[in-house]
Amino acid sequence: MTAHNGFMSIDAIDIITDAFERVLEGLPTALQGLDRDQLLWRPGPQANHIAWLSWHIDRCIDTQLAPLDGHQQVWSQGWRERFALPYPPEAMGYGQSPADVGDFTVSDPELLIGYHRSVSALVHEVLNAERGKDLARVVDERWDPPVTAAVRLVSVVDDASQHLGQLAYVKGLVTTAR
């Protein structure tokens, strides 16, 4: 933020960073105090559980932000092996079935939070690298219209925010149901 004629000027990266910070700070807080059963509890057979949602939030951020500035996905830096999931290495949860969610049995909050911290560091690296760049540049031509850097950043933070809300809702259900 910069002062200009007595007013604060905020650029797009400042706004996007603020939005990401809300998710990055909210996820570890949402996982605090949950035990294994609570992390894996599903409100229904078609629903996602907290542990899967946590992983999915971070995988989506990792998968979609790393390529913006040529970063390596955090997932490929030993996290895939630590999680030992029965999914293909590139899986991020998109399009997974309820059975796939049921196959996710990681219930160690420290593992989830550790991956989240690494993804958070990536987010800060990417956002700092994006500062001053043309956010209207096309970063993915597989879509119609092609995806710009700005659209990618906004869509990722929007998706992460929605899933964090789902996670908080499931936490509310599981912590009041017992």
- pLDDT single digits (tens) 155-171: 999 999 999 999 999 99
- φ, ψ for residue 68, nearest 5 deg: -55, -40
Burial of 140 (0-12, 13-18, 19+ CB in 10 A): middle
Query: Does residue 57 contact residue 65 with C-beta atoms inside 8 Å?
Result: no
Whose tokens are 């907290």? That residue is 50
Query: Does residue 162 contact residue 24 with C-beta atoms inside 8 Å?
Result: no
- pLDDT single digits (tens) 82-109: 999 999 999 999 999 999 999 999 999 9
* Helix, strand, coil fractions of the chain, as percent rounded to 5: 60, 5, 35
Query: Mean pLDDT, to the nearest integer, of 35-57?
Result: 98
Query: Mean pLDDT, to the nearest integer, of 39-58?
Result: 98
Task: Identify the CATH number of the domain defined by range 11-176.
Answer: 1.20.120.450
pLDDT cut 70: percent of the chain above it = 94
Query: Does residue 51 contact residue 36 with C-beta atoms inside 8 Å?
Result: no
Single-letter amino acid, residue 32: Q
Query: Mean pLDDT, to the nearest integer, of 137-146?
Result: 94
**pTM metric for this prediction:** 0.93
Residue 178 to residue 171: CA distance in whole angstroms? 12
pLDDT grade, residue 8 (50/70/90)? low
pLDDT at 4 over 70: no
pLDDT at 31 over 90: yes
Q: Which neighbouring-strand residues pair with 3? A: 8
Burial of 25 (0-12, 13-18, 19+ CB in 10 A): exposed
Domain extents for the chain?
11-176
